[in-house]
Structures are given as structure tokens and as C-alpha cells.
Amino acid sequence: MNEQNTNTVSIHKELDPNKILVVDDIPMNLELMKIMFRDSNYELVFANNGSEGLEKAQQESPFLIISDIQMPGMSGFELCKRIKSDDQTKDAAVIFVTAHARSSRQVREGLEMGADEYISRPFERDELLARVNAVARLKRAELEAQQQAILVAQRNKELELLNELAVATTSSLDLQRILAFSMQKLFQIFNAEMIVILMPDESTQKLIVNIASAGAESIAIPVSVKPGLSSIDLSRRKLVASILTRIGNEHNYPFTIPHPDNLGLITTVPMVSKEEAIGAIAMIDRQPRQFAEVEWSQLISAVSIITVAIENAQLFSKVQNFNRRLERKVQERTRELAEEKDKVEAILSSIVDGVLVLDANNYLVTLNNAAQEMVGSDEESLIGRSITSEELVSPLWNCIRYLADNSEKIATASVDIPNINKPGSYLSIQAHSAKVQTDTGETIGMAIVLSDVTAIMEVERMKARFMAGVTHELKTPLAVIRLHTSNLAAYHDRLSQEKREQLLKAIQAQVKQLTSLVEDTLKLSRFDAGADSIERQSVNLSQLAGQLVDEMRLLAEEKEIALNLSASSPDIILNADPKKLKWLLNNLIDNAIKFTPAGGSVGVQLGLDMEGSKQSALIQVTDTGIGIPVDEYERLFDRFYRVDSAHTIPGTGLGLSIVKEIVTAYDGSITVANSPDGGSMFSVSLPL
């Protein structure tokens, strides 16, 4: 109950329903009243004048005042007026007694002031008591009606507060706001000294004690309880008193704690949800409280409303915690997926082969950089598009569509596409497809790998050209040898000694040519297989070149060619394989001698060259031969390629290929140019 309503009810209770105040200035009349009420159930209080009557009315709180009208000082009318204007006495009934003739004016005036009855002397005892009893009944009925009206208003106010409690608690899901508002409303409804809401916290295994006292803010205190939360009854008043005493002793909070022995001051109601206690609400009063049935019903209703609101807030908190955990997991998983996506994209980007991924409806899901370059479009313009789009027209897209339509789980196709980096040339693409299927065999997409096999195909073509070249180069010497041996066998006796020797020398020359061809072929095969390792050691290039020039000078002199060597230093030291360095020099000098006519010259120059901060050995071989057309430079180092297509100059067509392989193995470089004096100039640079 609120304070205002309580005060109003207390005024009605102070009116004594058995006490009558008699006011008269004549003592004989007062004695007469004593005699008339002697055997009645009423208690009489007497006053000799109006002023004393007013004072006695305020002190004794009688339910009925019988007053004379004509009195010295304060008349009966004035007394009635004063009584009706005083909040403490205004509900008391008033009966006027007069010895004068009763006039309608006086009656009207008295009744307008609030009098309940008029009695004229003389009167009989029975008449007086009957009139008094009638007024008493009316007054009691009036007071009871007022009391009921006040109670109804009070109940309506309490119901209004309960409704406010229900609306406020159900409109919020914040547990602390619900607890604070609930305790505030319980204060307003029940006017308690202290409100306590006890709730177990399963996460911390502690009891959360929420306390609100008059004139102080609410607080929440975690308390450890023994033997444990699951085994205690929070609605036990002794337990509540013990917990509050413990809190007051340990924390020195500014509120009065009821002594455990004075349990009458504590009212507890469990908060029950789905037949399970989720806490308890306790009210502590200044005096022991006796609940009327209506009040108890209101308390149970308030507790039920608060219980539902707390349960909703707790469920909402659990949902929020679950959502936060789920959000963290989603964020972690999203980050992991992003990292995995980055890894996959990095892997796809680093793959030399083109990779495309299609979904079950042949829409592009992803493709790496190599695939974008091959199809000639970027990822943004292709992702999400169907490969059947009319805009995707090219031999490669036709190949991709062919694979997508193929019913086989794994399929392969080949296609040649224009090389955008080298106009006029083509890339050979080999496409492999694999359907992506679930455990149940459902196809959910396809992965297509586009491999650039141009280099492989070129190697295959080179092998074919190499074999054709070897076969071609073998045919001529073998045919000559077969012809000369047949002639020797058939005509040996008829041939002169000079002719036989001529045939034998021709056979020996062809055998030498075959031997050279086989040796050069084996060298290149070892280079191709990576089996010809380079054994580096300190080599004096000047001395090695000098020895080789001396050995080959006889060959040059036979053709009347001058062979000269010049070096910038007698000691040009290389970290190289002397055998392969000798092959390099021998092939360059031998090639120059072959293509230089009689009377010409071949020069070998050695020196040092600086390329940035690195020093290299420079070898230049020049001749005064037939020279090389500029458009032949690019193919000059191809195997079996010969500037002399008519094969009038002996050779295997492999010498310069061997030189190129050796230079490449040393991370060097070789160039060719026409010499200013006619002929050709080969320049080799080898790192020291």
C-alpha cells in the first residue's frame, strides 16, 4: 500500500464506533444524558461548552457528537462547523438537542452545516436511544462505504501499479533495468522497508542478491553459498535473513538488517517458472505484516510478472551470448575462409597452367591469371557468366565448351590459339577437364586445366627435325662408303693402285665425317639430358687458345688461310671446364676456316670486358669468308641448320649448336655479326 492511502484508512480507524461526545453548558442536562445511556453499549464523554467539546472531539475521536445549540461562547452551530472543517473529526455524526421550539430555519441551517439529526426537549429515553441508534447505523454504513471506496481506489491504484510493472518489465529485456524497476514498483505497492531479489548465477555458481532499501539505490552483490546453489531453498526466511546479515557484516552497507530471530519482518515468495525455482523475492518490513487475501494475491501476481520478465531477460541474454558466440565463430570462419580463399587464389595465381572452375550450370566460378591471359579477358568480366554466351567466341572457348558437354568424368582436348605476345605465332594448348562430384555422384561443377604445351610441342618438333637431320646427314656418307666399297669389291683387280688409294681415302673421309657427326650428336644428347656435368677449375684461356691455334694452324695452311691469335693478356684466367672450353674454341675456329676461301684469314682475339660490376672474358673469332645474311642470324644456332644449304662445305650442322649449349651452361652470351672486312664475327662473353 502506498503511504497516502494508508494515512486515509488510519483516519477512519481512529473514529471510535462506541464513543459518544455530549456537549452542554447545563450540568443537569449532562447528568440526564448519563442516566439515559446508563445501560447502553455506548461510552460517553462530556464537555461543558463548545470550545471544550471541540478539544474533546479531537482527542477522543467519537463517532457521534450530541450538542446543545444555545451555549455561551461557541454555539452548537459553530461547534458543528468547526468539527466538519477539521480533517480529524469531519466524519463524526452530529445530533443537535434544543429546548427551544423547533423552527425550519434552524433545522435547515444545522443540516446544511452537516448535522445528522435534530432532537427537541423534552424527549423520552427510548426516543433518544432509537434516534442515536439510527444515526449510528447510518454513520457506520457511511464509514464502511467510504472505507470500501478507499479500498477499491487503493486496489485500483495497486492494480495500476501492477499493470505498470507488467508493461515496463515486458517492454525491456535488460535484466538490471527490470530488477531496478521491479523493486521500485514493489516499494510503491507494498510500502516495504527493503526489497530483495535473489537469483542463482549458474555461470559463476554464486547467488546474486539484489537489494533496494528506502531512499537508497539498488545494488547487486554476488554471494557464495554452501553447500551449493542446487541444494538451497531461496524462499526460506531464515536463509534470507542470514544472507542479509552476512552481507551487512562483510560489506558495511547502509541498511538495516533484520535479526534472524525476528523472521516475522520477512516475507518471501519463490519465483517459479515451469515448476522450477529461478529465484525468490523477499520483503522486509518495520513491523510484522499480516497480508489480507487481496494483498497476498497482488504480491503473488507481482512476483509472477517479475518472474516472467526476468526469465525473458535471461533467455534474451542467453540468445545474445549465443549470437555473440555464433558471430565470433562466423567471423573466425569468415576469416579462415578468406585466408583459405587467399591461399587458393595465391596457389591458382602461381600455377603456370590456366585453371577454370565451372558450376553445375556451366557458369564460370573462378579462373586464374594464366587462364585470363589465354582467353584474353579479365576475371571481373567473366565471373558469373555462362560459357555458352554468344560473346565468348574463339577456338579456345569452343574447346572449353566441348569439354563441358563431354559426358566423360575426365576428358582431354587440344587447340592452337594465336600468341598475343608474338603476333603471327601460335600457342599449343592442351585442355584437361575433370567433373567435380559429391559422394552421391551428383555433378556440382567442373575444373578445366589449360596447359601451354607449345614448348613441349616445339621440343617434339625439334626431336623430329633432329632425327631427320641425323638421318639425312648419315645417308650421304653411308651412300658414298657403300658405293666405294662396292667398287673396291667388284673392281679391285682392275683398279690401279692410285685409284684404290683414292677410293680408300674417300672412304676414310666419310668415316671421319660420320665419326664427327656421331660425336657431335652424342654431345648434344648429353646436354639435352643434363648428363654432361661441368667440372669447373682454374683455366688460363690465353694458353688454352694458343695451344689450340697451333694445333689447327696446319689445317688452315692446307687451305692457304692465315690463322692468327691476339690476347690482351697472357694470363686470362677462367673458372671453367677446360674440355668444354676447348670444344667451344675448336668449333668456332673450325667453322671459320671451313667458310673462308683460300687466301683469306681467321683471327682469334681474347680480352676482358666489364658488364656493370661483373668482369667477363671476351672471345672473338673473325673470318674473311662468305658472310652470313642477317635474316639467317636467328636460325644460325639451330641444330643441323647450315648457311651452305647445298652442302658444298663439309660439316654436321651441329657445331654452332654445341657452342650455344656451352655458352648457356656458363650463363654467358654469344652474338654474331658481319665483319667490317667481310666475312663473319662471333663474339662470346663468359663470366670469370
Tally the C-alpha atoms within 13 A of residue 135's C-alpha that lie toward its C-beta. 24
Q: Does the predicted model carry a pTM greater than 0.75?
A: no
Residue 154 is predicted with a pLDDT of 66
What is residue 7's three-state secondary structure?
helix
Please, are residues 666 and 686 in contact by the beta-carbon 8 Å criterion? yes
Q: Is residue 4 predicted with pLDDT exceeding 60?
A: no
Residue 458 is predicted with a pLDDT of 74
Distance (Å) of CA 471 to CA 154, 479, 482, 550, 647: 123, 12, 16, 34, 15
Q: Is residue 3 predicted with pLDDT exceeding 60?
A: no
Strand order in the sheet with 62-68: 43-47, 16-23, 62-68, 93-98, 117-120
Chain centre to alpha carbon of residue 16: 77
Q: Report CA dihedral (184, 188, 194, 199) to the nearest 10 degrees.
A: -40
Q: Is residue 79 predicted with pLDDT exceeding 60?
A: yes
Residue 9 is predicted with a pLDDT of 34
Q: Which amino acid is at 350?
A: S
Residue 10 is predicted with a pLDDT of 36
Cell (9 digits) for 279: 529465484
CB neighbourhood size of 255 (10 A): 17
Residue 595 is predicted with a pLDDT of 86
- Average the pLDDT over each of 441-455, 505-519, 670-684 and give the range with the smallest value: 505-519
* pLDDT greater at residue 344 or residue 682: 682
Task: Report which of 433, 436, 437, 444 is spatially closest to residue 410, judged by C-alpha positions.
Answer: 433
Cell (9 digits) for 576: 671453367
CB neighbourhood size of 11 (10 A): 16
CB neighbourhood size of 15 (10 A): 20
443-452 and 426-437 strand pairing: antiparallel
Residue 2 is predicted with a pLDDT of 36
62-68 and 93-98 strand pairing: parallel
The residues that bridge with 680 in the sheet, in sequence order, are 674
Structure confidence at residue 359 as a pLDDT band (50, 70, 90): very high
pLDDT tens digits for range 588-602: 998 889 888 999 999
Residue 5 is predicted with a pLDDT of 34
Task: Report which of 535, 513, 531 is spatially closest to residue 522, judged by C-alpha positions.
Answer: 531
Structure confidence at residue 643 as a pLDDT band (50, 70, 90): low
Looking at residues 623-650, what average pLDDT do you find? Answer: 72
Residue 46 is predicted with a pLDDT of 95
Residue 190 is predicted with a pLDDT of 84
pLDDT tens digits for range 395-432: 999 999 999 999 899 999 999 888 877 888 888 899 99
Residue 74 is predicted with a pLDDT of 92
Please, are residues 597 and 623 in contact by the beta-carbon 8 Å criterion? no
Cα dihedral sign, 422-424-425-428 = positive
* pLDDT greater at residue 105 or residue 195: 195
Looking at residues 627-653, what average pLDDT do you find? Answer: 69
Residue 223 is predicted with a pLDDT of 85
Cα dihedral sign, 320-321-326-330 = positive
pLDDT tens digits for range 262-280: 677 888 899 888 888 889 9
Most confident of 242-251, 336-345, 600-609, 668-677: 600-609
Structure confidence at residue 255 as a pLDDT band (50, 70, 90): low
Strand order in the sheet with 410-418: 364-367, 354-359, 443-452, 426-437, 410-418
Inter-residue long-range contacts of 522-525, CB under 8 Å, 24+ positions, other chains counted: 523/583, 523/654, 523/658, 523/661, 524/639, 524/654, 524/657, 524/658, 524/661
pLDDT tens digits for range 28-69: 999 998 998 988 889 999 999 999 999 999 999 998 999 998
Residue 674 is predicted with a pLDDT of 86
Residue 108 is predicted with a pLDDT of 78
Domains of the chain: 3-150 (3.40.50.2300), 172-319 (3.30.450.40), 351-452 (3.30.450.20), 458-527 (1.10.287.130), 533-687 (3.30.565.10)
Structure confidence at residue 6 as a pLDDT band (50, 70, 90): very low
pLDDT tens digits for range 288-317: 888 878 788 888 888 888 888 888 888 888
Task: Report which of 636, 616, 642, 633 is spatially closest to residue 673, judged by C-alpha positions.
Answer: 633
Residue 102 is predicted with a pLDDT of 57
What is residue 2's three-state secondary structure?
coil
Looking at residues 490-515, what average pLDDT do you find? Answer: 80
The overall average pLDDT reported for the chain is: 82
